[in-house]
A and B are shown apart, each in its own frame.
Chain A
Amino acid sequence: MSHGYLSPTGLEIAFVLIGLVTLGSGLLVVTVKNLVHAALWLLVCMGSIAVEYLLLTAELLAWIQVLIYAGAIIVLFLFGLMLTRAPIGPTEELNVRHRWPALIVGLGAAGTLVTVIVQAYQHTWFDPRGAVPLGSGEALGTQLFKYWVLPFEVLSVLLLAALVGAIVLSRRGRDTEEAEA
């Protein structure tokens, strides 16, 4: 079934390299001062997470990640930045008073999560790639429509509700038009 595209060692090297890209671009999303650049670094981060999905044999999910996140959501974010007239160029927005408490909270959360992972999974190993089902479109579709039909249908209702909600929220009401006139 799945022979993989890479040898086991190649997989580990690819994981380390892509992981460094993911972490670096994630750090830049949080720290870069130019707002549009933050959105573009988020694009790099989403793309590298898609490659990580490929390494984990989740092929369909990697494509969905590229289509939904890199394709649609980033474009929405860029539109949002432009519609709210985000300042072009560096901003003062990182000069917040609570920067150090936030950093301590972040480090504490990271330490806790990493400790839990070390305790829980240090003796677990992945099965070889050939032994696990591949997340291809066929396999994932079978799983989805065999066991997860009800959540799938509920999600379609959620999407409809989000569509209607977004139209209602962003429509200019009569009172705001009068206020602006």
Chain B
Amino acid sequence: MNPDNYLYLSAILFTLGALGVLIRRNAIVVFMCIELMLNAANLAFVTFSRMHGALDGQVIAFFTMVVAAAEVVVGLAIIISVFRTRRSASVDDANLLKY
């Protein structure tokens, strides 16, 4: 099978995630779209690993997942602390660094 197809899937999924980051307003949904982009990159890594017959791509995808988990934890803590001060989770309302 041609590896193109997996890479197309990964590219289109990445674009969908980027589009979501651009058009969504709720900070948590923006976060979900970032996860979509990370997953698309992971899929490309695993495809390359399959293509070259080496496991390094899979190890890097594993590391990406761990970093993504840490990122989600800290990001949600930030969104919730913004929500506490501004009573809104919309990215349009968070326009000041210090409130």
Q: Do A and B bind each other?
A: yes
Which residues of B line the A interface, CB within 8 A?
Answer: 1-9, 11-20, 22-29, 31-33, 35-36, 39, 42-43, 46-47, 49-51, 53-56, 58-59, 61-63, 65-74, 76-81, 83-85, 89-90
Give every chain B residue within 8 A of A144 (Cβ-Cβ).
Answer: 59, 62
Residues 1-56 (chain A) with a chain B CB within 8 angstroms: 8, 11-12, 15, 19, 22-23, 26-27, 29-30, 35, 38-39, 42, 45-46, 49, 52-53, 56
Q: How far is the CA of A58 from the CA of B47 in the complex (A)?
A: 9
Question: Which secondary structure dominates where chain B touches chain A?
Answer: helix
Give every chain B residue within 8 A of A152 (Cβ-Cβ).
Answer: 63
* One of B17, B19, B50 near A56 (C-beta < 8 A): B50
Interface residues on A, range: 35 or more
Given A84-B89, A126-B1, A133-B55: A22 and B6 interface contact (C-beta under 8 Å): no
Give every chain B residue within 8 A of A30 (Cβ-Cβ).
Answer: 16-17, 19-20, 23-24, 33, 36
